[in-house]
Amino acid sequence: MRRIFFFGLLMFLLGCDDGDFIIEQLDFDETDVQEPCLDGTVTLFKISEAKNEALIIQLAPNSVDFTEVEVLEFPINNNTNKVLYRILDNEVTPAYFCQSVPPTSPLVTEEWYSPSGTIRITTTKEDDDLDGIPSEQEGMVLNEDGTVNMEASRDSDGDGFPDYIDPDDDDDRIPTIDEIDNTDPTNIVFTNTDGDDLPNYLDNDDDNDGVLTIDEDLGGDGNPANDTTDIDGEKIPNYLTPIANTETTKKSTRRKNVYQSIYTSVIEIVDGFKLQNENQEIKFDVETYLFGTVETPIKQEEK
Ligand SMILES: [Ca+2]
Ligand SMILES: [Ca+2]
Ligand SMILES: [Ca+2]
Ligand SMILES: [Ca+2]
């Protein structure tokens, strides 16, 4: 695939051929979408690696909610819905794009606009407890349409939060991420201290000494990991050794379940993507131009 790296080169080619110019890729294709400006005009933008070019989408205030699962389409009209390509005389920073009155510096030396096409924003949501185990390995059940069937998904400790949104799957107060070895996320090692059928993250008595891990929290601070016994000069948490099997008399308080909803908005330009500047026109030889994605994580906490 042909790739145009520098606008200067593009201008040179345009100069050679007085008509439309068709390209497949733009210098911006591999740069990330910056954090959107949402105060006033919704502005989505990408800055080139050299920092003196920007591809910008501008939409009416409050026209996009990046935490709403939906498909939005905005016909490009160069009024409320615009796509602009700017070349500046100096490096530009993200702050430049979020100001209601455009700063005088850096100066826009060239501005191209898109005369037609549609901006499409598709937002999907995925919940995840970020416990080190991918949701698909935590008994998450999907409906036929690809949405998650929360009721049918595995809930090992029966606390109402299926494992994929439960950061402590066996409710023993030791977070799952501390009960597995995920140094290599493609090859998670499910630690199993007592060698029974249950890996530690699903085992409420990790050392099989008859005292539940939750009851080996002698300090009663909600963390059994800091109650230790000295064995051969090493401090071993009581819940990981049957040598220490004292049961606490203190009641452990349950921590609130916390997980994340991660909204992913895919921003595309469909129905053809062109850029114009006076009499010159660049056409993108792609059915759908992928502008990029915006991720919005929202912390969810049990009430
Ligand atoms: Ca989990
Ligand atoms: Ca646990
Ligand atoms: Ca076990
Ligand atoms: Ca135990």
**How much distance in Å is there from the Cα of 263 to the middle of ligand 2?**
27
**How much distance in Å is there from the Cα of 26 to the middle of ligand 2?**
48
Per-chain residues with Cβ under 5 A from ion ligand 1: 129, 131, 163, 166, 169, 176
**How much distance in Å is there from the Cα of 217 to the middle of ligand 4?**
10
Q: What is the mean pLDDT of the chain?
A: 90
pLDDT at 9: 39
- Domain segments of the chain: what residues? 7-124+264-295, 130-258
**How much distance in Å is there from the Cα of 219 to the middle of ligand 1?**
25
Q: Residue 53: name the closest of 12, 6, 121, 2 by CA.
A: 6
State what percent of residues in the chain have pLDDT above 70.
92
User: Is residue 2 predicted with pLDDT exceeding 50?
Assistant: no
Residues facing residue 46 across a β-bridge: 55
User: Is residue 225 predicted with pLDDT exceeding 70?
Assistant: yes
Output the CA angle 227-199-181, nearest 5 degrees: 75
**How much distance in Å is there from the Cα of 177 to the middle of ligand 4?**
19
Spatial strand order of the sheet with 118-128 comes to: 70-75, 118-128, 258-270, 289-301
**How much distance in Å is there from the Cα of 96 to the middle of ligand 2?**
46
pLDDT at 280: 86
Q: What is the average pLDDT across 90-109?
A: 89
- Higher pLDDT: 59 or 253? It is 59
Point out the ligand nearest to the CA of residue 200: 3
User: Is residue 14 predicted with pLDDT exceeding 60?
Assistant: no
- Dist. CA 298–CA 68, nearest whole Å: 12
Q: Residue 25: name the closest of 44, 9, 42 by CA.
A: 9
pLDDT at 5: 37
Point out the ligand nearest to the CA of residue 201: 2
Point out the ligand nearest to the CA of residue 227: 4
pLDDT at 303: 87
Beta strands in the chain (DSSP E): 21-23, 42-47, 53-59, 70-75, 82-88, 108-113, 118-128, 228-231, 234-237, 258-270, 274-277, 280-284, 289-301
User: Is residue 44 predicted with pLDDT exceeding 70?
Assistant: yes
Q: What are phi and psi of 8, to 5 degrees?
A: -55, -40
Point out the ligand nearest to the CA of residue 179: 2
User: Is residue 297 predicted with pLDDT exceeding 90?
Assistant: yes
Q: Which of 88-92, 218-222, 265-269 has the lowest mean pLDDT?
A: 218-222
**How much distance in Å is there from the Cα of 168 to the middle of ligand 1?**
6
Task: Please confirm whether the linkage preceding 134 is cis (ω < 30° from 0).
Answer: no
User: Is residue 19 predicted with pLDDT exceeding 70?
Assistant: no
User: Is residue 287 predicted with pLDDT exceeding 50?
Assistant: yes
pLDDT at 169: 97
- Higher pLDDT: 100 or 41? It is 41
**How much distance in Å is there from the Cα of 161 to the middle of ligand 1?**
9
pLDDT at 15: 42
CA 283 to chain centre: 31
**How much distance in Å is there from the Cα of 250 to the middle of ligand 3?**
24
Point out the ligand nearest to the CA of residue 207: 4
Q: What is the DSSP string of 65-94?
A: -TTS-EEEEEE--SSSSEEEEEEESS---G
User: Is residue 207 predicted with pLDDT exceeding 50?
Assistant: yes
Please name the residue that has the structure tokens 């090692």: 189
- What are the structure tokens assigned to 26, written together? 């733009």
- Nearest-Å Rg of the Cα atoms of the chain is 27
In which element (H, E) is residue 16 found? helix 7-16
